């Protein structure tokens, strides 16, 4: 376990004038507050904040950040308060500790929503001070190093979260060593067999090739020294297990087929020496085509700069090389922690270098009003992407994820440009909007003022910003389409209960309905995502919704409804007079089903006929198309069937079968075993080998109908099964 005096010595090595009194004071306070608390490993709890602080000393962080690391769990896990920490350590440290504590204080139902809100809280805290992020990553790294002592289910859950969010987040912040360690620690719990297999192979390979690695290092160093590059550092190393596994999976390779398990770094003093070294290496050994990348002239968004190339080396094996200056190497190893700007706790905004640009854009997405789940998806998309660099016609550089399209490019420039995009020129040629962009492409967006982004674009784009913008535009278009119908439905529902509906009455109950806007409520009713009776109850909680029991008419089997009654339906012939409670209609009316029927579980719509009767259709019925321009004839109705229901409902299936003896018997016997009643059946030969069977059957609900369809599909004499609608 790290000792306090060792921690102080580490800080003094890189900052001799550090405030040691602050570090000692923070240690004593944390020790007193955590008292006899233990970790899952049995170690004293104070060992955790000490180790987190030690990780931050490797990044050469200032003493305030080290003190925050020592105190980061005190408000959450002890009797400490923000006011007390402010009094002892000042407002700055108090705000940082509270920022880390707020990340944990959530009470949400779903784990996904909780994870999303955790990430939101973290990003907003980091917007105030980037040191929150550094402490959080160090905290996660030490927890991963000691994860073995947790339960197996917790180990896997925490590892998956680390792999999905914290490891790529460290990478986005340029902290590559931390990213690789987080990935490997997670990998060993997510896929322990693969991890151990690769680790064993790497250990064997390392023992066999130790002399080979040194030989390549010596030859590269001698080559560069021979051409006047003094003080060059060359270091070779094996790739990490997760990196190898990832490449094996993406390239469909076995371990033995991996030709570039070793990577070598060449570190020089000056920028121009990077390109000189590259020239000398390419002159001596052949370069592998399409394996050269210049991240010096085009840095990654996290500030990473280096030259990458792959050569066929001295013993005709592939060797990956990274060539960079010492300053670039510090950024590559420590990311944002390598910038003096962040060591002093500067905020994430204003005049900082490009290293923080991605993070600012992600924080801006918080203001777009997306749900926590959408924000989580957006962030994961941004975290995992490699980059390509494209240009506007005026020469502006736009960094995009790999496989980005012109649509992503348009939204990256500005949301309004994306919304109005109708075409694109790539390198001067008109290209489809699904074109995948490459490094160096010049993209010109063609726009139209009447364009609305189609929902299908969401499946084409790869950036979170584009997806979020398309969803918002789609929701706005749908809201406009359905708001008129929703308003009429609500007016009728309120009137039926003797109430008056207006937009104003909804404003105070939005929180009960899970909506942020009055128009969203109205459109949700129009789309049948929200029932009008639920809206009525939200506005008038004391209102009672009457349930009506329907009985069959003795004359013709159709039901006449008194005013205020629920939906009526035709009962199967020969059934008794027990009723079924349903809701949805107003006034006396004759109610029928469409010829192909409907079953509980279907989304249904009522259409008012010319004679005043009402026909019930499943929403996917093609018969509804003739009424699309007559919204005043549509009625909001729904099933209200409970577990005591003893009535069956009509559904029609079309089954394409082999035209051979016994087929019909196999179909009917299968249906009989599922407690389904066949009302009528017709079989027509449509080809020499095939026949079409149309069946009207009576089922309890959609679940039973789906089970029937699946059982029929499993028969070897059945080609296709589909539900038919009139």
CATH number, position 438 = 3.10.20.30
**Among the three residues 190, 211, 242, which one is the final residue of a domain in this structure?**
190
Beta strands in 338-476 (DSSP E): 387-391, 397-401, 421-426, 429-431, 443-447
Structure tokens at 8: 């102080």
* Res. 569: pLDDT tops 50: no
Residue 588: HSE in the Cβ half-sphere, 13 Å Cα cutoff: 2
Per-residue pLDDT tens over the stretch 482-505: 777 678 778 877 887 888 888 888
Q: Do 371 and 485 fall into the same domain? A: no
Residue 555's φ and ψ, nearest 5 degrees, are -80, -65
**Residue 70: which of 55, 86, 90 has the closest Cα?**
55
**Among the three residues 421, 454, 487, which one is the final residue of a domain in this structure?**
454
Euclidean distance between CA atoms 266 and 295, whole angstroms: 15
Q: Do 302 and 361 fall into the same domain? A: no
* Res. 700: pLDDT tops 50: yes
**Among the three residues 426, 454, 482, which one is the final residue of a domain in this structure?**
454
Q: Do 89 and 42 fall into the same domain? A: yes
Per-residue pLDDT tens over the stretch 641-691: 766 677 888 999 999 887 778 888 889 888 988 889 988 898 888 766 678
Contacts of 703-711 with C-beta under 8 Å, sequence gap 24+, read 703/601, 704/674, 704/675, 704/676, 705/599, 705/601, 705/651, 707/674, 708/653, 708/671, 708/674, 708/676, 709/653, 711/670, 711/674
Which range, of 20-24, 196-200, 289-293, averages the lowest pLDDT? 289-293
Q: Do 638 and 657 fall into the same domain? A: no
Structure tokens at 142: 């030490």
Structure confidence at residue 188 (pLDDT): 92
Antiparallel, parallel or unpaired: β 318-325 and 262-268: parallel
Q: Do 510 and 387 fall into the same domain? A: no
User: Residues 657, 690: contact at Cβ < 8 Å?
Assistant: yes
**Residue 270: which of 301, 230, 310, 298 has the closest Cα?**
230
DSSP string, 112-176: HHHHHHHHHHHHHHHHH-THHHHHHHHHHHHHHHTGGGS-HHHHHHHHHHIIIIIHHHHHHTT-H
Q: Identify whether 461 is part of a domain.
A: no
Structure confidence at residue 122 (pLDDT): 67
Structure confidence at residue 654 (pLDDT): 92
Work out the pLDDT band at 259, boundaries 50, 70, 90. low
Structure tokens at 726: 């009139």
Q: Do 384 and 413 fall into the same domain? A: yes
Rounded to the nearest integer, the mean pLDDT of the chain is: 79
Domain count, the chain: 6
Which range, of 96-100, 147-151, 305-309, 345-349, averages the lowest pLDDT? 345-349
Give the CA distances from residue 615 to residues 31, 496, 556, 604, 635, in Å, rounded to whole numbers and listed in that order: 74, 20, 16, 10, 10
Q: Identify whether 265 is part of a domain.
A: yes
Q: Do 661 and 692 fall into the same domain? A: yes
Work out the pLDDT band at 288, boundaries 50, 70, 90. confident
Structure confidence at residue 369 (pLDDT): 46
Q: Identify whether 343 is part of a domain.
A: no
Euclidean distance between CA atoms 269 and 276, whole angstroms: 12
CA dihedral 236, 242, 243, 245 (to 10 degrees): 120
Q: Identify whether 417 is part of a domain.
A: yes
Domain that holds residue 660: 649-724
**67 vs 256, which has greater pLDDT?**
67
Euclidean distance between CA atoms 18 and 63, whole angstroms: 6
Q: Identify whether 324 is part of a domain.
A: yes
Euclidean distance between CA atoms 411 and 587, whole angstroms: 51
Structure confidence at residue 349 (pLDDT): 41
Q: Do 103 and 227 fall into the same domain? A: no
Q: Identify whether 468 is part of a domain.
A: no
Q: Do 532 and 583 fall into the same domain? A: no
Per-residue pLDDT tens over the stretch 165-199: 788 878 877 788 888 999 999 999 999 999 999 88
Give the contacts of 432 (CB within 8 A, at least 6 positions apart). Answer: none
Euclidean distance between CA atoms 119 and 198, whole angstroms: 32
Which of helix, strand or coil describes residue 320?
Answer: strand
Domain harbouring 711, CATH code: 3.30.70.260
Euclidean distance between CA atoms 523 and 478, whole angstroms: 8
Which of helix, strand or coil describes residue 397?
Answer: strand
Domain harbouring 159, CATH code: 1.10.3210.10
Give the contacts of 98 (CB within 8 A, at least 6 positions apart). Answer: 75, 82, 85
Work out the pLDDT band at 272, boundaries 50, 70, 90. very high
Give the contacts of 147 (CB within 8 A, at least 6 positions apart). Answer: 155, 158, 159, 185, 189
Antiparallel, parallel or unpaired: β 387-391 and 604-608: unpaired
Which range, of 75-89, 124-138, 447-461, averages the lowest pLDDT? 124-138
Q: Do 22 and 156 fall into the same domain? A: yes
Q: Identify whether 466 is part of a domain.
A: no
Give the CA distances from residue 506 to residues 448, 475, 479, in Å, rounded to whole numbers and listed in that order: 36, 19, 16
**Residue 386: which of 291, 460, 332, 463 has the closest Cα?**
463
Q: Identify whether 517 is part of a domain.
A: yes
Euclidean distance between CA atoms 56 and 58, whole angstroms: 5
Q: Do 27 and 124 fall into the same domain? A: yes
Which range, of 376-385, 395-404, 440-449, 456-465, averages the lowest pLDDT? 376-385
Q: Which helix or strand (DSSP H or E) is residue 696 part of?
A: strand 690-699
Structure confidence at residue 70 (pLDDT): 93
Catalytic residues: 76-77
- The 3-state DSSP composition of the chain as helix, strand, coil percent (nearest 5) reads 50, 15, 35
* Res. 568: pLDDT tops 90: no
Q: Do 396 and 247 fall into the same domain? A: no
């Amino acid at each position: 376990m790290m000792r306090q005096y060792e921690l102080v010595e580490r800080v003094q090595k890189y900052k001799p004038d550090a405030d040691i009194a602050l570090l000692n004071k923070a240690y004593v306070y944390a020790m007193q507050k955590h008292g006899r608390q233990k970790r899952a490993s049995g170690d004293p709890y104070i060992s955790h904040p000490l180790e987190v602080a030690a990780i931050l000393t490797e990044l050469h962080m200032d003493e305030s950040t080290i003190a925050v690391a020592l105190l980061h769990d005190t408000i959450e896990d002890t009797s400490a308060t923000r006011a007390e920490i402010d009094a002892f350590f000042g407002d700055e440290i108090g705000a940082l500790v509270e920022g880390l504590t707020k990340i944990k204080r959530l009470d949400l139902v779903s784990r996904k929503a909780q994870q999303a809100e955790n990430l939101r809280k973290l990003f907003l805290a980091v917007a105030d001070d980037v040191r929150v992020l550094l402490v959080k990553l160090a905290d996660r790294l030490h927890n991963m190093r000691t994860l073995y002592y947790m339960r197996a289910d917790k180990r896997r859950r925490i590892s998956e979260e680390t792999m999905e969010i914290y490891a790529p987040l460290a990478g986005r912040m340029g902290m590559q060593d931390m990213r690789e360690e987080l990935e490997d620690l997670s990998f060993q719990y997510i896929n322990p067999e693969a991890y151990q297999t690769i680790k064993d192979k790497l250990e064997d390979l390392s023992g066999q090739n130790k002399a080979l690695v040194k030989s390549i290092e010596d030859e590269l160093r001698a080559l560069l020294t021979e051409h006047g590059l003094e003080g060059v550092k060359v270091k070779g190393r094996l790739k990490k297990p997760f990196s190898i596994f990832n490449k094996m999976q993406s390239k469909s390779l076995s371990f033995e087929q991996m030709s570039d398990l070793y990577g070598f770094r060449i570190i020089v003093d000056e920028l121009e020496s990077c390109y000189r070294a590259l020239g000398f290496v390419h002159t001596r050994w052949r370069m592998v085509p399409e394996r050269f990348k210049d991240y010096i002239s085009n840095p990654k968004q996290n500030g990473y700069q280096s030259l990458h190339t792959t050569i066929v080396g001295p013993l005709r094996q592939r060797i990956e090389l990274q060539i960079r200056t010492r300053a670039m190497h510090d950024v590559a190893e420590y990311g944002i922690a390598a910038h003096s700007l962040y060591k002093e706790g500067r905020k994430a905004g204003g005049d900082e270098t490009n290293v923080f640009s991605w993070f600012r854009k992600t924080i801006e997405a918080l203001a777009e009003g997306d749900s926590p789940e959408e924000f989580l998806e957006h962030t994961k998309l941004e975290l995992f992407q490699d980059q390509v660099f494209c240009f506007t016609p005026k020469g502006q550089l736009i960094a995009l994820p790999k496989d980005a399209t012109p649509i992503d490019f348009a939204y990256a420039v500005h949301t309004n440009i994306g919304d109005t995009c109708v075409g694109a020129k790539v390198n001067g040629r008109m290209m489809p909007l699904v074109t995948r962009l490459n490094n160096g492409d010049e993209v010109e967006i063609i726009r139209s003022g009447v364009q609305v982004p189609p929902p299908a674009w969401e499946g084409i784009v790869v950036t979170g910003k584009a997806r979020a913008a398309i969803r918002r535009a789609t929701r706005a278009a749908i809201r406009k389409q359905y708001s008129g119908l929703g308003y009429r439905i609500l007016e009728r529902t309120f009137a039926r209960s003797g109430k008056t509906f207006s937009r104003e009455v909804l404003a105070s109950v939005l929180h009960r309905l899970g909506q942020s806007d009055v128009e969203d409520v109205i459109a949700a009713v129009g789309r049948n995502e929200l029932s009008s009776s639920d809206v009525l109850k939200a506005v008038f909680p004391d209102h009672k919704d009457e349930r009506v029991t329907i009985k069959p008419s003795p004359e013709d089997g159709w039901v006449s409804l008194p005013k205020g009654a629920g939906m009526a339906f035709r009962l199967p012939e020969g059934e008794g007079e027990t009723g079924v409670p349903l809701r949805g209609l107003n006034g006396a009316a004759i109610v029928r089903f469409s010829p192909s029927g409907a079953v509980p579980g279907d989304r249904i719509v009522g259409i008012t006929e010319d004679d005043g009767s009402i026909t019930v259709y499943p929403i996917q019925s093609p018969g509804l198309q003739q009424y699309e321009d007559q919204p005043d004839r549509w009625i909001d109705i729904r099933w209200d069937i409970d577990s005591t229901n003893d009535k069956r409902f009509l559904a029609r299936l079309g089954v394409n079968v082999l035209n051979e003896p016994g087929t019909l018997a196999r179909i009917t016997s299968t249906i009989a075993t599922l407690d389904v009643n066949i009302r009528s059946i017709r079989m027509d030969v449509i080809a020499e080998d095939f026949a079409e069977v149309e069946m009207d059957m009576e089922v309890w609900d959609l679940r039973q109908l789906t089970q029937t369809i699946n059982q029929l599909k499993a028969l070897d004499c059945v080609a296709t099964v589909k539900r038919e609608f009139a």
